Amino acid sequence: MLATFLSLLCACQKHGEGNQNSNSLLSHTRLLSLRDSGGVSIAVVADPWAKEKTLATYVLVPDTVPATVQLPEGTVVHTPLRRAVLTSSIHAALLLRLGVADAIAGMTDTAYVVSSDIRRLLRSGKVTDVGSSVNPDAERIKQTHADALFLSPMENAGQNNLARLGIPLIQCADYMEVSPLARAEWMRFYGRLFGCADSADSLFREVERAYETLCQKVRTHNAPRPTVFCDLPLSGTWYEPGGQSTMGQYLADAGADYLWSDRAESGSLPLDFEAVYARAARADFWLVKYGSAATLTYESMLRDDSRFRRFRAWQERRIWSCNSLKVPFYEETPFFPHLLLGELIRIFHPGLLPEAPNRYYLPL
C-alpha cells in the first residue's frame, strides 16, 4: 500500500527501524503491528522497555462481525468505540481531525489544554474531567460509561486500579516511537478503533507524502547544514535530545547538523553547562522549547544565567523558541509532523520553501 514511498523512506529515516513484522499493514512503526484477519483487526503493541516482549494485544471486532465468530487471543475491543476516556490531548486533537470527537467521553489534565478547538469541546460540557493523567479518577471514569480508556504507558507503572474498571485499556505507546512518521502512523490503529479506518489511512498517506516530499527537497538542496543545539538547563542539568530521538530525526531531515547526532540514545542526554558549551559555543542556531506564562527573551535568559551570552547563537540573535503553553505544539505535531518539519526547514534554509508564518518556533 505504501510501496511507492519506500525509496524515499530509506533516505529520510536515519535510523530506519520500521516495522519488522512483514504481515503488518504498517511500514514505519517499531512498537506497533497491525493486520486484518477474518473480518477483525489485530494490533500488537510491543513493550518499549523490554525487547521481544509484548505490552498488549488487541482484537478489534466491528459490530458487523457475528458473535459466533471464533476470535484470536487478545483483549477484545468492540468497534467503533462510542465513548472513550483519553489521558492525552494529543489523541483528542487527532479524533477532532478524524471527525469522531463525539466519542470523547472524558479527558485528564484539562487545565493544560492549549488547542482552541479542544478547549471549545471541553466548554461544551460533553467531556468529563477525570483528573490527572498520572492518577486518573477511576470513579469519574466509571460514571462516563466509557467503552475504553486510553493510557500512555510508563515503565513499571501500576494500572491495577484502572484494570478493575472492566473496560479495555488502550496502551498508547506512540510517544515512545523514535521517528516522526512512526508516531504519526499510529493514527491508522486509532482510526480502526473509532470506525474510521479509511479516513485515518487516507490522512496518514497525506501526512507521509508531505513529510517525505519535504525530505526530498532538503536532500536535493545541496546546501551547507547549519549546526544546531536545543533547549535550556533545568535545575542545573541540560537535557539535549539523543541523536536517535524524534527531535534528532527532525533536525536531520530538516537539513541541520545536530551537534549530538553521534549519540545513539533515543531519549534525552543529561549534560552540564560546560559539556554543552564545549560543543555548542559556535553553533549557528539554538532551538528552545519551554512552557511558561512569561515570554522568554534574550534579557530574561541572562537573568537565569549570564553565561548564555557566551554562545554565538545568543550574540547573533539566532535563537528560536517554542512556548508550549501558548501554541499547540504537543497537540498537533505528533500526528502531523510535516508541519514542524516545514518550519524547521524554513529556519535552517530560508528561501527553500514558500514563505509561511511559523506556528511553533518563533524568533526570540
Residue 315, pLDDT score: 98
Residue 5, pLDDT score: 32
Count of CB atoms within 10 A of residue 305's CB? 12
Residue 152, pLDDT score: 93
Residue extent(s) of CATH 3.40.50.1980 domains in the chain: 15-208, 224-363
Model confidence pLDDT, tens digit, residues 247-272: 999 999 999 999 999 999 988 999 99
Query: How far is 2 from 27, CA to CA, in rounded Å?
Result: 7
Residue 17, pLDDT score: 54
Query: How far is 123 from 69, CA to CA, in rounded Å?
Result: 42
Query: How far is 343 from 327, CA to CA, in rounded Å?
Result: 14
Mean of all residue pLDDT scores within the chain: 93
Query: What number of residues does the chain have?
Result: 364
224-363 belongs to which CATH class?
alpha beta
CB 152 within 8 A of CB 87: yes
Of the pLDDT bands very low, low, confident and very high (cuts 50, 70, 90), residue 10 is: very low
In the predicted structure, residue 7 carries a pLDDT above the cut 90: no
Q: Which of 17-26, 72-81, 224-233, 324-333 has the lowest mean pLDDT?
A: 17-26
Of the pLDDT bands very low, low, confident and very high (cuts 50, 70, 90), residue 155 is: confident
Query: How far is 138 from 160, CA to CA, in rounded Å?
Result: 11
Fold of 15-208: Rossmann fold (3.40.50)
Residue 20, pLDDT score: 56
CB 234 within 8 A of CB 204: no
Could you give the C-alpha distances from 70 to 43, 44, 66, in angstroms and in order? 17, 19, 9
What's the mean pLDDT in 67-83? 94
**H/E stretch holding 41:** strand 40-46
Of the pLDDT bands very low, low, confident and very high (cuts 50, 70, 90), residue 68 is: confident
Q: Residue written as cell 484470536?
A: 72
- Quick one: how far is CA 207 from the chain centroid? 13
